[in-house]
Structure 1
Amino acid sequence: MKSKISSNGSNGLFQKISTFRDPKASIVPVLDQYIREGNKVKAADLQRFVRELRSRKRYLHALQLSEWVNTNNYCRDSSGNHAVQLDLIGAVRGIDAAENYFSNLTDKEKDERTYGALLNCYTREGVVDKSLSLMQTMKEIGFVTSPLAYNNLMCLYSRTDQPEKVLDLLSEMKKNGIPPNNFSYRICINTCGDQLDFNSMEKLLEEMESQPQITMDWSTYSTAVNHYINGDHKDKALVVLKKLEKINKDAIGYSHLISHYAKLGSKDQVMRLWGLQKVICKKQVNRDYITMLGMLVRLGEFEECTKVLKEWESSCRTFDFRVPNVLFIGLCSKGLTEKAETLLKNMIGTGKTTIPNSWAIISFGYLQMINLEKAFECMKEALAVSQESPGWKPKPVLISSLLQWLGEEGKITDVEAFVSSLRSVIPVNREMYHALIKANIRGGEGVDEIIERMKSDKIDADEDTMRILNSQTDGSE
């Protein structure tokens, strides 16, 4: 049985690697230090770690680990290991490096897996000529015995807008006695859907369902449903959704089903599935509530949203403001910003510590209502709790609008305080200084000190700056 990643034994090393923050820095020093500390690592675990990093698209660190494993002789040479390393080299260093690695392999090491890895490098980069040439070579030496190589070419044709060739490859596979797998069919179904060829898509689904080697999967049905919905084939979408529900086994599946039915505008089905999810899956996490609220917002069912939100508040173990933020966004988009603000204040009144984005959402809602004074007050609240969310940045259009309004109507003290708070979350910019200059001119104050501060921040005056300064002498802007 595959061991779970934990903090014990070899897996302690994976903990260090997986939490390594800098995606561009080398993990080799971490690996070397781990060994110097007297820790032992298992070859099988190291290979598993490479695959896990690769699945997370952390290709650089996966390659560094793979090369470290080989350099330190933790794993014996095998075509499988070479195939993984070749694919990672292509992803990190490019096709030339991958070709060079492949050319240095022995004839014994150049088997279907390593040829397939090189083909994947070509198709991933969209190199059509080399992909087709290598595929022909693989056919000639008998290295195309599974759907993998065909699937790679199908993906290539999909990305290079050659849909007719995708379906030709499916026919060729079957003619050559290579049974298509789920991924093969899914690429073809997606291709037909993109071309609005729903008759062919339906035939592919029926063919797939009749194949003894195929177990119908969630992804394929869900892909078909999306195309039917986008193509306004509601009845066909509903037929596939019923099949989808029969093979659903978890909360994530219910979330997808709820999303599909919301797109179809079916509130009854959304509520039915939400009820089923709560019964069958027992426990709902924040992600489930985010999905449900998002779909109810899509349907415009704000009263139901309020009920679901109360249900979440009474049951959640971790109060995550991203959950109510979904409702805040929906309310603001419908011009119900005051209601969103009231809900937020009620939550804060129960002792919850908000995050800046909640206030920023409501501030943006007031901006859309052309209520700049309220937008400003809400943004001040956001900045006051910005330390709760390091790295948070407000929308540039919101800040730009507020600075322009403050420059034209705000008190000098308000502008100074706002700009001072802003500097803690975004880099100082010319718009901040323009607001300060405008406010000081309106208040009859000098601007020499502000100009000096602007220079010290290495922000040059532009045409707008000069226009604003000239207004000081001609009495107009």
Structure 2
Amino acid sequence: MSVNQFQFGRTKSVAKRSKKYLEEALYTRLFREGSEEASVRHKLNQFLKSHKRVYKWEVGDTLKKLRDRKLYYPALKLSETMTKRGMNKMVSDHAIHLDLVAKTRGIAAAENYFIDLPESSKNHLCYGALLNCYCKELMTEEAEALMEKMKELNLPLSAMPYNSLLTLYTKTGQPEKIPAIIQEMKASNVMLDSYTYNVWMRALAAVNDIAETERVIDEMKRDGRVAGDWTTYSNLASIYVDAGLFEKAEKALKELEKRNVCRELSAYQFLITLYGRAGNLIEVFRVWRSLRLAFLKTANISYLNMIQTLINLKDLPGAEKCFREWESGCSTYDIRIANALIGAYTKEGLLEKAEELKERARRRGAKPNAKTWEIFLDYYLKSGEFKLAVDCVANAISIGRGDGGKWLPSSVVVRRLMEHFEQEKDVDGAEGFLEILKKAVDNVGAEALESLIRTYAAAGRTSPVIRRWLKMENVEVNEVCMKLLEKISVE
């Protein structure tokens, strides 16, 4: 497909274009049957096979919508295919493509893409995209070196690359580095944006400097160029809640409400969560009613947030009532919402109710996921029902995580189960559990194998394979276990 088959403006109407073009906007076609990745990939493949033409602005809008929904693989495929068919990439397009490569193929692939770009395309946007990738991967040295390179090249720096560094320092537990970045921005006449102020406030809160946090808010107000939005005040309210300053938190929440003029769902959910953390059940229900009035259909995520808040406030009857309301009208039975109530039941020792809800969810088409089994696992460990706990581990490993990744029990869970088998001198139970564990991990680790050796010794049993197992896993056990190994190993 040649370059001139892509339109670079929005002057051409989708409705008036010829039959050689796609008969509807590309993003409408891709999301016609929902935003599940399998459905979007199918629709994208249909479009690519059809060789229909689209305007360039459609590709840009579609890529934005795919990225917003974290559908990075189809987004990358669309970007790559359109480039092969002749769509000219602007510098901003290169930056977006680099970000997609990093998210789907890893940081090394993103670096190679950047290196292969012509020098004319390596402007502040592409450098900034690579910097953001380093920061997301918590690659501090690489991020700092790239930022210095950007300064050496005299690239125009906005708040964005600085914000990436601020986020990096926050995530890596280095809030002490943030004030210096703020001072550098001011010295370089880089205008602080609302994100900068929010991260700055969080960094100060992390070192319990509430007075300085309040000074940042005052500075933002005096500056006048950046107006505090609802995110700023939800951030401030959260800081106050964490500090136990509930009266100040509620004042910040009132400011949050004033600034939610666009009726953003996230703002309502923050209000519900933060009023809940402040222990104000009356305000939780008031905001919930406002949310219900603001949107024609209440989203699953809103019900989940409300139910979790009520559970945290120990209002189980209120959570059950909210759940029944959702269950009676939901079009898709969301296992996450059922899990919230199942978790509340197990914590209260109401196992029968938890089991009944799990089965009801299954009948409605929502199969238990790894989180469901994790909830029951926690209950059975606490109640000493170890066989059932092992079954939960097996089920969770079999299902895996929702993102396609493997589910792994925590080291605490593994240790607790192996200690039980050791105490009970249950060699068969220990080996059976480790066989289940090996379905999810390449190596079960020295700690688990040392426990197995001690279990064999306690049971007075010998093993012809345990030495080979240690060798296969390339594990070295401690001195005590080496002595026990001499006793239990037989050829």
CA distance in 2 between partners of 1:303 and 1:421 (Å): 38
Corresponding residue of 1:103 = 119
Corresponding residue of 1:467 = 484
CA distance in 1 between partners of 2:369 and 2:98 (Å): 45
1:53–1:7 Cα change, 3 Å: farther
**Among 137, 152, 158, the residue aligned to 2:161:** 152
1:117–1:187 Cα change, 3 Å: farther
AA matched with 1:290: L
AA matched with 2:57: A
TM-score, normalized by length of structure 2? Answer: 0.65
Corresponding residue of 1:275 = 289
- What is the 5 A alignment of 1:49-448? 49-52=62-65, 66=79, 69-75=82-88, 78=90, 80-81=92-93, 98=114, 101=117, 103-104=119-120, 114-118=123-127, 121=130, 125-127=143-145, 128-134=147-153, 137=154, 149-153=158-162, 155-156=164-165, 161-166=177-182, 169-170=185-186, 173=189, 182-183=194-195, 186=198, 196=209, 197-207=212-222, 217-248=229-260, 249-329=263-343, 336=348, 338-339=349-350, 341-348=351-358, 350=360, 352=362, 354-355=368-369, 357-367=371-381, 369=382, 371-372=383-384, 374-380=385-391, 383=394, 387=398, 391-409=406-424, 429=444, 431=448, 435=452, 438=455, 442=459, 447-448=463-464
Q: Percent identity?
A: 19
**Among 57, 61, 65, the residue aligned to 1:48:** 61
Cα-to-partner distance string for 1:55-74 (whole Å, 9 max, x where unaligned)? 67788986776565445422
1:344–1:46 Cα change, 3 Å: same
AA matched with 2:148: D
1:309–1:465 Cα change, 3 Å: farther
Alpha carbons 1:53, 1:62 under 8 Å: kept: yes
1:263–1:411 Cα change, 3 Å: same
Cα-to-partner distance string for 1:343-398 (whole Å, 9 max, x where unaligned)? 2223246573544543432332343x4x43x1332432563686555744433432
Find the structure with the greater CA-based Rg: 1
1:364–1:351 Cα change, 3 Å: closer
CA distance in 2 between partners of 1:14 and 1:159 (Å): 34
1:194–1:7 Cα change, 3 Å: farther
Question: How many Å apart are 1:82 and its aligned residue?
Answer: 5.6
TM-score, normalized by length of structure 1? Answer: 0.67
CA distance in 2 between partners of 1:166 and 1:455 (Å): 52
Alpha carbons 1:86, 1:102 under 8 Å: kept: no
Unaligned runs of 5+ in 2: 1-9, 15-21, 136-142, 170-176
Cα-to-partner distance string for 1:396-421 (whole Å, 9 max, x where unaligned)? 43234223323442667766765665
Unaligned runs of 5+ in 1: 22-26, 139-143
CA distance in 2 between partners of 1:360 and 1:324 (Å): 13
CA distance in 1 between partners of 2:257 and 2:179 (Å): 30
Alpha carbons 2:346, 2:379 under 8 Å: kept: yes
1:158–1:434 Cα change, 3 Å: closer
CA distance in 2 between partners of 1:92 and 1:421 (Å): 34
Question: How many Å apart are 1:257 and its aligned residue?
Answer: 0.8
1:191–1:455 Cα change, 3 Å: closer
Alignment size in residue pairs: 429
CA distance in 2 between partners of 1:258 and 1:220 (Å): 16
